[in-house]
Amino acid sequence: MFSFRVVATSGRARAGVLTTPHGEIETPVFMPVGTAGAVKAVTRRDLLDLDARIVLANTYHLMLRPGDALVRDLGGLHGFTGWDRPFLTDSGGYQVFSLAGLRRLDEDGVTFQSHLDGSSHRLTPERSIEVQMNLGADVVMAFDECPPSTAPREAVLAATERTTRWARRSREAHTRTDQWLFGIVQGGVLPDLRERSAADLVALDFPGYAVGGLAVGEEKSTREGVLEHVEPLLPSGKPRYLMGVGTPEDILESVARGIDMFDCVLPTRNGRNGQLFTRTGRLSIRNARYRDDPRPPDPECRCPTCRTASRAYLRHLHMAGEITGATLLTIHNLAHYLDTLRRMRQSILSGRFEEFRTEMRRSLAASAAEGEGS
C-alpha cells in the first residue's frame, strides 16, 4: 500500500512519488492545513479543483472536538469529511510548544487544559497514536516535544532525549498497517543535538522522517543551516517532511536542501487577513491603491480567483467583511503555493532547479526592493 521513490534530483533538490492507500503524492508537495478536518474558508470541491494531493489535520484539536472515537465510528477522517485523497495528522506535539501556558509536561506525557472549556486532557505517546489510528490518516506522526527557539541547551537536550523515548513508545503503540508513522528529528538549532536525534530516530527505522522544532522564532539563516546539517543524516530513500514552514521563499530554500513535504497556515491565514502571495511578492488587498484596480491579483495565475475577480472587487469584499472575500483570497493563495511546488518539481525533473531558484529569488527580491508586489 505504501512506497516512496525519488525519480529525479537536481543538486540536493528531489522529485519523488509517495504512494499511499488513498492515492499518489508527487513531491515536493505542499499540504494545506485542515486543523479540525477542514481547510478554512474553502470546500472539498475547491481543494479538488486546485488538485491538492494531501491535507493535514491535527490530533489534539480533533481529540477535543468532535472526538476521535466519533470520527472512527463514522469512517475515519476520509469517511467523516468526504475527502478521499491522503491525510496526514500531526501528533499534538506542536501543541506542547504552542499551548505551553495551558499544559503540564512530565516524562510520561502532557496534561492539557482545554482552550475550549478548561477541561483536562492527557496526551501520551500511546494516546496520541491511539487517536491517530482512530482518525485513520495515511501518514501519522510520533509524539514529540518541540522546545522554543529561546530554550537553553539543557532544556533542548532534555526535549531531544525525551522525543527519542517518546518516538520509541509511539513506534511500539502503532499497529495499523495501512498507515505510515514518521519520526520527528528535534534538537533545536544545536548541530550536535540534531545529529544525536537523527541517529537515534534512524536507528528506529521509521518509513519517513520529519524535521521539527523549526519556524519557532529562529532566524531564517539559522533554520537553513540546520537543514543543511540534518539532510545528509537522513536516509535518502525515505520521505523528508519539514513541519510548519513557511513562505514560498522558505519552501524554495528547503527544497534546495532536500526536503520533500511541507505544511503551513500562512496561505489560508494570510488570505483571510487580506494578504495575497503572487509571483512578484506579497500584496495587501486592504491597500487603498487597489480600490479601483481592475487587474486580477496575479496576471500570471490561472486560479479561479484570478480568472474572475479584480483587485478592486476583492478589496471591496474584504473591507466589507464578506465571507466570499475570504474564500476567494484563500483559493488564490493555496493555488499559488500548490502551483509553485509543481513548478519546482518540474524544474527538478528537467534538471533546471537552480535556474528556477535563481529566477524566483530574483523576482521576489526585485519586488521587495520596490515595496509591494505589482
The model's pLDDT over 305-346, given as tens digits with 9 standing for 90+, comes to 999 999 999 999 999 999 999 999 999 999 999 999 999 999
Cα–Cα distance measured from residue 220 to residue 205, given in angstroms and rounded to the nearest whole number: 30
Domain covering 3-263 assigned CATH 3.40.50.970 in the classification: no
Mean pLDDT across 44-61 = 98
Q: What is the pLDDT of residues 4-20, one digit of tens each?
A: 999 999 999 999 999 99
User: Does residue 212 carry a pLDDT above 70?
Assistant: yes
* Average of per-residue pLDDT across 12-32: 98
- Does the structure show a pLDDT above 90 at 369? no
Residue 366, pLDDT score: 78
Residue 263 is a catalytic residue:
yes
Q: Distance from first CA to last CA of the chain, Å, rounded?
A: 46
pLDDT of residue 341: 98
Q: How confident is the model at residue 367 (pLDDT cuts 50, 70, 90)?
A: confident
- The pLDDT value recorded for residue 363 is 92
Tell me, yes or no, if 106 is annotated catalytic. no
Tell me what the pLDDT averaged over the chain comes to: 96
What is the pLDDT, as a whole number, of residue 372? 74
Q: Which residues touch 136 (CB under 8 Å, ≥6 apart)?
A: 71, 72, 75, 76, 77, 78, 87, 176, 178, 179
Percent of the chain with pLDDT over 70: 99
C-beta of residue 20 within 8 angstroms of C-beta of residue 31: no
| Catalytic member of 68, 138, 144, 263 | 263
Beta-carbon contacts of residue 320 (< 8 Å; ≥ 6 apart): none
Condensed to tens digits (0 to 9), the pLDDT of residues 135-194 reads: 999 999 999 999 998 999 999 999 999 999 999 999 999 999 999 999 999 999 999 999
pLDDT of residue 236: 97
* Stretch 276-289: mean pLDDT: 97
Q: Which amino acid is at 51?
A: D
Q: What is the pLDDT of residue 287?
A: 98
35, pLDDT greater than 70:
yes
Grid-cell match 500500500, residue found: 1
With contact defined as beta carbons under 8 Å apart, do 341 and 30 qualify?
Answer: yes
In this predicted structure, the answer to whether residue 215 has a pLDDT above a threshold of 90 is yes
Residue 1 clears pLDDT 70, i.e. is over it: yes
Say if residues 263 and 30 touch (Cβ distance below 8 Å).
yes
Strand pairing partners for 56? 33, 88
Taking every pair of Cα atoms in the chain, the longest distance, rounded to a whole number of angstroms, is 60
Q: What percent of the chain has pLDDT over 90?
A: 95
Mean of pLDDT values over 209-221: 96
The one catalytic residue among 68, 90, 260, 339 = 90
Q: What is the pLDDT of residue 374?
A: 61
pLDDT tens digits, 90-105: 999 999 899 999 999 9
Q: What is the distance between the alpha carbons of residues 135 and 128, in angstroms, rounded to a whole number?
A: 11
**Which regions of the chain carry the CATH code 3.20.20.105?**
3-263
Beta bridge partners of 282: 277
Q: Which residues contact 246 (CB under 8 A, 6 or more apart)?
A: 215, 254, 262, 264, 266
